[in-house]
Amino acid sequence: MQATFAVLGFLVGFLVGLTGVGGGALMTPSLIFLGVEPLTAVGTDLLYATVTRIFGVFFHGRRGRIRYDIALRLFAGSIPAVVLGGIILRGIDRGVLNEYLTPLLGGILVLSAVLGLLKGEFDLPVRPRWAYVYLLGFIVGLTVQFTSVGAGVIVSFTLMNVAKLDPKDVVGVTIVYGLALSAFSFLNYAGIGGVDYGLAGTLILGTVPGVYLGTHVNRTADREKLKRAMNVIILLIGLFTLLGR
């Protein structure tokens, strides 16, 4: 089974390196499909995402600028959500959480995929204000607490279509914000024993060469077409997760 998880880490890493999207949206449902308890799947994916995003921040920081002002405001809005999420995780029975995490994950996957397909093609008539950034941080922060999905696609969609942020800056913001959010969210799951550290290590070992290979293949591939294909896959996974309960 360890080999299966290593291959999963490699495949997800390859697809993320190839398209730049879909890490959490692919990893958590895949772990659940392979028999991992939903609560543990989310917690393990948050640790996996934290470690992989550390590399992402390092490499992106060397290549381009990062709008820390926006990333920090997003995270400031997420702090109350992280605290609230921790209270809910500790206050609700583990069996109840496992029962509702899967349909919630399916719904967020469908929403993320739809937003990913609309990204750059949807013009929202809303004036950008800093208050919206804090609110976005809270909403996404609460979502990530229970699914490990949403920090990338939902934030990038909103920043481009509401804040009108340069797409080149959006990537850096989502990586830095995603790192901070996944790290603090992981602590909630660690506190209730919802993280499989051995499994996370196996996934990370498979991901590193996968991301490296995917990044190199990306240079000769049509990135936008690949992203659209990835979002269609995530949409199908989300629908399968909802209908296959």
Look at residue 37 in the predicted model and tell me its pLDDT. Answer: 94
81 touches 190 (CB < 8 A): no
pTM for this entry: 0.85
How far, in Å, are 26, 44, 94, 196 from residue 151 at the CA level? 14, 16, 24, 22
Res. 21 pLDDT band, cuts 50 70 90: low
Averaged over 18-42, what is the pLDDT? 85
Tens digits of residue pLDDT in 36-75: 999 999 999 999 988 888 877 776 666 666 788 899 999 9
pLDDT for residue 245 is more than 60:
no
pLDDT for residue 154 is more than 60:
yes
Domain boundaries in the chain? 1-243
Look at residue 61 in the predicted model and tell me its pLDDT. Answer: 64
pLDDT for residue 195 is more than 80:
yes
196 touches 47 (CB < 8 A): no
Averaged over 88-99, what is the pLDDT? 90
Task: Lowest mean pLDDT of 25-34, 87-96, 110-119, name the range.
Answer: 110-119
Look at residue 36 in the predicted model and tell me its pLDDT. Answer: 94
Burial 45-70, CB ≥16 within 10 A → b, else e: bbbbbbbbbebbbeebeeeeebbeeb
